[in-house]
Amino acid sequence: MTNQYDVIVVGGGVMGGSTAFQLAKRGYKILLLEKEQIGGKASSSAAGMIGAQVELHADNPMFQLARESRKQFPALANEIKELTGIDIEYRKNGMFKVALTKEEQREYQQVIETQNRLGEQADWIPAEEIPKHEPLLSDHLLGAMYVKGDGQVSAPDLTKGLLKSAAALNTNIKEYCEVKSFLQEQDQIIGVSTSEGNFYSQYVVVTAGAWTTQLIHESGIDLKGYPVKGECFSVITHKPLISRTIFSESCYIVPKKGGRLIVGATVKPYSFSQKITVQGIAYLLDKAKSILPSIEKAQWDKTWAGIRPQSVDGLPYLGEHPDYQNLFIANGHFRNGILLSPITGLIMADLIEGNKPTIDVDPFRIDRMFQQVK
């Protein structure tokens, strides 16, 4: 059996796009399979925050991963624009993590200290100085952690941009093609069985988001992950109400191009349902109004939901399958998928090539909580 492809990538979201793009750049011939439409699930539902310091703050492997990934965006934005015409709307416009309680204030101030010690800039903005930066925020805020180095992209454009960049190089994208199981010969994966027949390759990478667990189950291990639904809505004003992301424990508000704001996201574990609930919208509306009262005057835009893959210990899975050396998995990025997508693509490409990634990926290996099926 001659291999039709060097690598088959299973899943057409931001991780599949990033992985296919990095591999295509290195000259590999790729087949990317997506069971519905590319960019149709969680990747395009994200608000697009690049919140390396705001979401991930402790001195741990995840923080290293996040910082390293954040660095990739400026160059990546240029590459995608060049290859596809797509602007991923990368902006390093900073973030405010606002404190609504004394407890949050203490916690954020500690995080600032830790981050400063680790060489990252982060500052405490006392309540009275908030209006200088963001005049429309509620006057009930106790202050904010200000991270200059964080920023944002357009998640749908990043996802589409990565996938179309891969296509412009050497990636064949097939949509509406569902991978059912892996084809194996002894302890080798030799391809995949799909709704359109079998495809053969030297390597297979699974980047199927919340649908990864089921598929990997087929290969004999349980990934220890679960889906987490997140609902969002967006509104529009002619003049922007805020100039950077406002992040709180209960919701975030992300300013997009042309005066649009994305408000997200609810957290509903164990649900694959993409339906928007009245409850979710009511909750987000309430929280957003308490942080940015003038959002009431904005124009309602739309609602949507995404299903994010979460691992049991909160760390992503990045690595080889314990039993098959040519089967790779990138999964469990939960709500940091957009932020972590550039480094994930680089790591997966390195692992497949047999190179050592630029960052230690041992904490993210697949078998760390490994459990054999049956």
Q: Report the residue number, 253 or 348, with the smaller CB distance to a copy of itself.
A: 253
Cβ nearer to a copy of itself, comparing 111 with 177: 177
Asked if 175 is part of the footprint of a copy of itself (rule: CB under 8 A), the reply reads: yes
In the complex, the smallest distance separating the C-beta of residue 108 from a copy of itself, rounded to whole angstroms, is 27
- Nearest approach, Cβ of 12 to a copy of itself (angstroms)? 10
73-132 positions binding a copy of itself, by CB under 8 A: 84-87, 89, 91
| Whether residue 77 has a cis bond before it, omega within 30° of 0 | no
Tokens read off for 230? 């997140």
What angle (nearest 5°) sits at the alpha carbon of residue 251, between those of residues 304 and 208? 50
- Which H or E element spans position 123? strand 123-126
Q: Which is nearer to a copy of itself, 160 or 333 (CB)?
A: 160
Distance CA 10, CA 6 (A): 13
Q: Does 281 bind a copy of itself (CB under 8 A)?
A: yes
Nearer to a copy of itself among residue 319 and residue 332 (C-beta): 332
268 binds a copy of itself (CB under 8 A): no
Given candidates 191, 280, 306, 342, which one binds a copy of itself under the rule CB under 8 A? 280
Candidates 56-64, 276-284, 350-358, 366-374: pick the segment binding a copy of itself (CB under 8 A): 276-284
| Residues from 246 through 265 that contact a copy of itself (CB under 8 A) | 256-259
Ranges within 289-308 binding a copy of itself (CB under 8 A): 289, 295-300, 303
* 279 is a site residue for a copy of itself (CB under 8 A): yes
| Three-class DSSP category at 281 | helix
Q: Which is nearer to a copy of itself, 57 or 229 (by Cβ)?
A: 229
At residue 312's C-alpha, the angle toward residues 307 and 317, to 5°, is: 80
Contact 141, 247 (CB under 8 A): no
Give the binding range for a copy of itself (CB under 8 A) out of 52-60, 114-122, 141-149, 288-296.
288-296
* Token pair 């424990």: residue: 249
CB closer to a copy of itself out of 56 and 155 = 155
Q: What minimum distance in Å lies between the beta carbon of 304 and a copy of itself? A: 10
Residue 274 within binding range of a copy of itself, rule CB under 8 A: yes
Q: Which of residues 102, 117, 238, 374 is near a copy of itself by CB under 8 A?
A: 238
**In sequence order, which residues have a C-beta less than 8 Å from that of residue 82 and are 6 or more positions away?**
none
> Which residue's CB is nearer to a copy of itself, number 35 or number 335?
35
**Locate tokens 């790591």: which residue?**
347
The owner of tokens 């959002």 is 295
Give the torsion through C-alpha atoms of 265, 43, 190, 27, to 10 deg: -140
Rounded Cα distance between 352 and 330, Å, is: 12
Residue 237: CB atoms within 10 A of its CB come to 17
> Which ranges in 209-253 belong to alpha helices (H)?
212-217
How many CB atoms within 10 Å of residue 128? 9
For residue 161, the surrounding DSSP H or E stretch is: helix 155-168
* Residues contributing to the site for a copy of itself (CB under 8 A): 84-87, 89, 91, 160-161, 163-164, 167-168, 173, 175-178, 180, 195-196, 214, 227, 235, 238-240, 256-259, 270-282, 285-286, 289, 295-300, 303
